[in-house]
Amino acid sequence: MNNRFTHSTLIMMLVFLFASFLSSCEKEDLLEGVPELQLKTYESGTHDGYFWSLWKSDGLSGSVNYTNGSGGNYSVSWNMNGNFTCGKGWSSGSRTRVVGYNCGSFSLNGGGGSMAYYGWTRNPLMEYYVNEKWGATRPADGGILRTITSDGGTYNVYTSWRSNAPSIDGTQSFRQIYSTRTSQNSTGANHTITFANHANAWAASGYGLGSDISPSAILLTEAWGTSNGYCNVTVWESGSSSGGTTTPPPSSPISGTKRFVNRATGLSIDGMGRTSNGSDAGQYNSSSSNAHWNIVSAGSGYYYLVNQGTNMKLDGYGRTSNGSACAQYSNSTTHVNAQWQFIDAGSGYYYIQNRGTNMRLDGYGRTSNGSALAQYNGTTHVNAQWQIVD
């Protein structure tokens, strides 16, 4: 008998038996007993009265070394390409928790990421962050929904839409909502995060957390891309609070009836005379009524854009694929897909971003009269920059 074949067969049998054992045991209990196992991309458990977790993306290369310290302390060092999240906290979230923490050391070189209070809700499925520290890139995807002051710092509120991405319920599409400090918090000192202040501000911006906040909540370290770094932090519960009042959202200087002219193509957004729900909006070198839009406040810093020629509202139509066409819908709709935010792009131009889909209007480099108006996620290209003219 071939010894090489016998050895390989034995390994395969052991892997099969262990996989069967995994399926019949509680993951947390098993991983507590054998923390060195690398058979799963997600590990979690309890340590010294705190919940902890470590998630690594499929295909991550390099190393991520997580260690639980005493009480609410943990440390993590990494040198990798991929995405990981880890941290220590609580097995269930809370709307009123005041989080105490002390970050003794934090460095993040290359890639992106942050140190944050982090968790999920269901009904709807949402991922939330309160970002306290980061590397070279400040987490700030999308336009500023509002600015709040909490725990001695100033935070901007942002939201983004994730399509077919990893979640606590498998691959899903879901909304991220987060607050990011305007400047990083200090190391080596005790700090607090009054979570209710952020949850209240998110709700006032139209993005209230889901009704089920029972999934775990941790003081997170996350990194993605090609990066290396180190974090050592201690977390504890520092009381409870229902939060204070929120400041109003930033106002827009936009009002009245305007044309939106693309910076790259010179074409205007045009209703094309189309009056059927779901019909595509177009682009045209025109100053007719079909190229003029009434800007009507929808509240919370968002606006309806009503075509003067057709009386139809510009509508993202729930489309989240880059390059998808932008539609129109009856003036009677008040859906978030018909609500738009103006984000200053500088030099007198704006990004026009949909509230429902988080997509930005994009000329897509099309210069033919009647070409479709597209949408694109998070782009800063000149094709997504619009000048507002009479």
Q: Which residues are catalytic?
A: 127, 222
Give the tokens for residue 195.
């979570």
The C-alpha atoms of residue 121 and residue 126 are separated, in whole angstroms, by 5
| Beta bridge partners of residue 220, listed in sequence order | 87, 116
Nearest in space to 227 (alpha carbons), one of 135, 116, 132: 135
Do 356 and 335 contact (CB within 8 A), yes or no? Answer: yes
| Strand, coil or helix: 14 | helix
| Beta bridge partners of residue 280, listed in sequence order | 327
| Beta bridge partners of residue 190, listed in sequence order | 102
Neighbours of 92 (CB within 10 A): 13
Q: Name every residue whose Cβ is closer than 8 Å to that of residue 181 and which is 6 or more positions away in sequence.
A: 131, 132, 153, 154, 155
Look-up: residue for tokens 């998110």? 202
The C-alpha atoms of residue 341 and residue 355 are separated, in whole angstroms, by 7
Question: In Å, how far from its chain's centre is CA 249?
Answer: 19
User: Using alpha carbons only, how large is the chain's radius of gyration in Å?
Assistant: 24
The C-alpha atoms of residue 232 and residue 69 are separated, in whole angstroms, by 9
Question: In Å, how far from its chain's centre is CA 34?
Answer: 33
Residue type, 247: T
Do 230 and 75 contact (CB within 8 A), yes or no? Answer: yes
Do 195 and 94 contact (CB within 8 A), yes or no? Answer: yes
| Beta bridge partners of residue 363, listed in sequence order | none
The C-alpha atoms of residue 1 and residue 10 are separated, in whole angstroms, by 14
Torsion angle defined by CA atoms of residues 146, 149, 155 and 160, in that order, rounded to the nearest 10 degrees: -40
C-alpha distances in angstroms, 149 versus 153, 247, 343? 6, 8, 21
